[in-house]
Amino acid sequence: MSLRLGAFRRLWAAPGDLAAGLARFPVTVVAIAALTAVGNWQVADPNALSPKLLERLALAMGSAALAGLVAVLLAESRRMAAGRRVLASVLAGLAAAAATWWAEQLMIAPLAVAGALFLLVPLAAYSGARSAGFWAFVWRLINVSALALVTVAVFLAGVSAILASVEYLFEVDLPGDTYGHIWVTGLGFVGPLFALSQIPRTMPDTDSVDPGDLIVAGIAVLSDFVAVPLLVAYALLLHVYGLKILLTGELPKNQIGWMVLSFGSAVLLLRLAADPFEAFARASTRLFLRCWPVILPGPLLLLAYAVSVRIGSAGMTPRRYALALFALFLVIVLAAQAFRRLRRDIRVIPAAAALLLLLGSFGPWGMIATTVGSQTERLAAVLARSAASGEGGVATGAPLDRAAAAEVRSILSLLDEVGRLDAVASLAPDIVPALGLPERRDRLERVAAALGAAPVQVTSPAGLSYSADQSARGPVSVAGYDIVVPWLEWGMSAPAVAIAVAGRELQVRTEEGGLVFEQDGASLRIAEADIVAALANRAVPGPLFLEHDLGGRRIGMLFETVASPGPGGNGLAGRFLLFLRAGDWTGPL
């Protein structure tokens, strides 16, 4: 009976808890309400907001909500008066919203700001010298967030089922976007408000857990028998690969940076999650909690080497900056283990991550500024090299050669991605009018043309069209080829396919108007004009198998389909198998 009465009391107190959450975190609630209103507007009229504007609004309001929450928790931990808490949250929310709304103009990385604020939420409540209770508070936040999500989702599913039944049984026609509004409002506003109301006012002061608790016992088993063995095996794999690089001198594979980032993140997350389990965990988890710093230096060196190689060959990009920042983060966390007091304080890990994300989000040392500086220097070097050789560019008014033009377009695409295409305006006066074009493709093409790097416009001599139906299928001789890359799409930008050739990695990718091969920082490209010419000269029926000589390397392409818009149309589209000879790719490109 007491359990039932307790449940009724909690249900009866729920509206009061929501009101308390509203009064305690006013800035966060207002920001969430505004974001929910934008979501409902988008449901009512999907074309009302452009994707870019919607992204800016979401980042600004989300950052304001997080900043307001951080400010209140920090003020409460410092025993500030209610009026000062509200003022601090208002100022923090406005600052975060302004920084993310005008991110392009201020050269700020908004996702880094949002990530830092997210990590600061639990840290703000434990800003003092004592860390006891921090793990329990984070665990409480995870639980209330999951509970809020499940509770609201079940409630909304029930409401949707009732409305659907009313429509069916009583033939009532509800507007088509009714369900969308219900779910956006529930998940976007009611759920977060419920979670906010469950954040305790008195923070836990101990991290003790009950070994008999079902969830705690499950996490302990997961750590003992799954997480720790897998991380040790992966650490061994990365160390063996690093030793291979050291002995053979080969360059790290392109994805090794993200592999180390995933591994390092998993190690640190397990360190955080298993912190209170040391007293009753099995030997594997206890050993991990004592020795986890030992398995990180090797992958850290591998990450640092891989990032330095990529930056040296193709300049800084936001992704490479993020990897470099993660390497610095690991250095700080490992250095902290040398101090006895910091070694047991798990706040060091999220605090270091939040600090680096915040510092890396703005300023001349930040992600955007360093990317822009690196890529503009790279662009100037390409144009100067082309001008010195007389091959073209701004100085000569002639088109750049194919490789230089492709490199210039890649740089321009990166600069436009971070919102700083105007950084190259000084290189050609014709660029300035193009910077205001609303369509990204038009903007990039105009700027590239002003720099002599306009993409080659291919005009098909006739309405080329081919489909491998039954009459066109048959045997094809692929003698000499020993590598096949399945089904690439011509005319579509797609992620690169990695191929191991003689211990080195060859990256193959399709992009608009070409097929690109990359190896050790160098690249080769088959242009669309070459394929059009081969198709125009081909009159033999049967399977469409084209062979191409790329600097002495033989390339085979077996098309399943290929088509162009017809006379005067630009661009091919097709699907094909790619055939290569491994021996052609053992030397430098």
Q: pLDDT for 73-97, tens place per residue?
A: 999 999 999 899 999 999 999 999 9
Both 270 and 186 in a single domain?
no
Both 192 and 276 in a single domain?
no
In a domain, 60, yes or no: yes
User: Sorting pLDDT into bands at 50, 70 and 90, what band is 557?
Assistant: confident
Phi, psi angle pair for 490, to nearest 5°? -70, 140
d(CA 372, CA 104): 12
Q: What is the rounded average pLDDT of the residues 244-266?
A: 90
pLDDT at 465 over 60: no
Both 478 and 580 in a single domain?
yes
Q: What are the distances in angstroms from CA 422 to CA 51, 63, 434?
A: 21, 27, 10
Lowest mean pLDDT among 295-309, 323-337, 383-397, 408-422: 383-397
Whether the CB-CB separation of 488 and 510 falls below 8 Å is answered with yes
Q: What is the rounded average pLDDT of the residues 120-132?
A: 90
Question: Strand, coil or helix: what is 523?
Answer: strand
In a domain, 460, yes or no: no
In a domain, 22, yes or no: yes
And the tokens for 393?
Answer: 């560019």
Whether the CB-CB separation of 135 and 124 falls below 8 Å is answered with no
Higher pLDDT pick, 235 / 438: 235
Q: What is the rounded average pLDDT of the residues 277-285?
A: 88
In a domain, 342, yes or no: yes
Counting residues of the chain whose pLDDT is more than 90, the rounded percentage is 47
Both 295 and 431 in a single domain?
no
Element (H, E) at 554: strand 553-563
Question: Strand, coil or helix: what is 577?
Answer: strand
User: Sorting pLDDT into bands at 50, 70 and 90, what band is 509?
Assistant: confident
Both 579 and 538 in a single domain?
yes
Element (H, E) at 486: strand 483-490
Last residue of a domain, one of 450, 475, 501: 450
Number of domains forming the structure of the chain: 4
Q: What is the rounded average pLDDT of the residues 126-131?
A: 84
Bridging pattern class, strands 544-550 and 573-580: unpaired
List all residues 6 or more positions away from 558 whose beta carbon is below 8 Å from its beta carbon: 476, 478, 543, 544, 545, 576, 577, 579
Q: What is the rounded average pLDDT of the residues 419-430?
A: 79
In a domain, 545, yes or no: yes
User: What pLDDT, on the 0 to 100 scale, is given for residue 318?
Assistant: 94
User: How many C-beta neighbours within 10 Å does residue 121 have?
Assistant: 20
User: What pLDDT, on the 0 to 100 scale, is given for residue 95?
Assistant: 97
User: What pLDDT, on the 0 to 100 scale, is given for residue 18?
Assistant: 64
Counting residues of the chain whose pLDDT is more than 70, the rounded percentage is 84
In a domain, 459, yes or no: no
Whether the CB-CB separation of 89 and 27 falls below 8 Å is answered with yes
Pick the closest to residue 527 from 538, 518, 516 (CA basis).
Answer: 516
pTM assigned to the model: 0.77
Pick the closest to residue 127 from 283, 351, 444, 452 (CA basis).
Answer: 351
Both 181 and 308 in a single domain?
no
Q: What is the rounded average pLDDT of the residues 117-129?
A: 93
Q: What are the distances in angstroms from CA 220 to CA 9, 136, 275?
A: 33, 16, 11
d(CA 556, CA 537): 16
pLDDT at 2 over 90: no
pLDDT at 259 over 90: yes
Mean of pLDDT over the chain: 84
Higher pLDDT pick, 15 / 72: 72
Q: What is the rounded average pLDDT of the residues 251-258?
A: 86
Both 471 and 443 in a single domain?
no
Tell me how far apart the terminal alpha carbons of the chain are, to the nearest angstrom.
79
**For residue 59, what are the domain limits?**
2-197
Both 147 and 11 in a single domain?
yes
Q: What is the rounded average pLDDT of the residues 256-266?
A: 95
d(CA 221, CA 273): 12
In a domain, 318, yes or no: yes
Both 340 and 380 in a single domain?
no
Both 231 and 193 in a single domain?
no
Last residue of a domain, one of 345, 362, 379: 362
Higher pLDDT pick, 87 / 574: 87
Question: Strand, coil or helix: what is 239?
Answer: helix
Which residues are 527's β-sheet partners?
514
Last residue of a domain, one of 162, 197, 232: 197
User: What pLDDT, on the 0 to 100 scale, is given for residue 551?
Assistant: 75
Higher pLDDT pick, 135 / 546: 135
Both 52 and 186 in a single domain?
yes
User: What pLDDT, on the 0 to 100 scale, is given for residue 461?
Assistant: 42
Pick the closest to residue 122 from 131, 110, 111 (CA basis).
Answer: 131
User: What pLDDT, on the 0 to 100 scale, is given for residue 471?
Assistant: 41
Q: What is the rounded average pLDDT of the residues 314-322?
A: 93
User: Sorting pLDDT into bands at 50, 70 and 90, what band is 470?
Assistant: very low
Both 309 and 240 in a single domain?
yes
In a domain, 138, yes or no: yes
Lowest mean pLDDT among 46-50, 100-104, 111-115, 509-513: 509-513
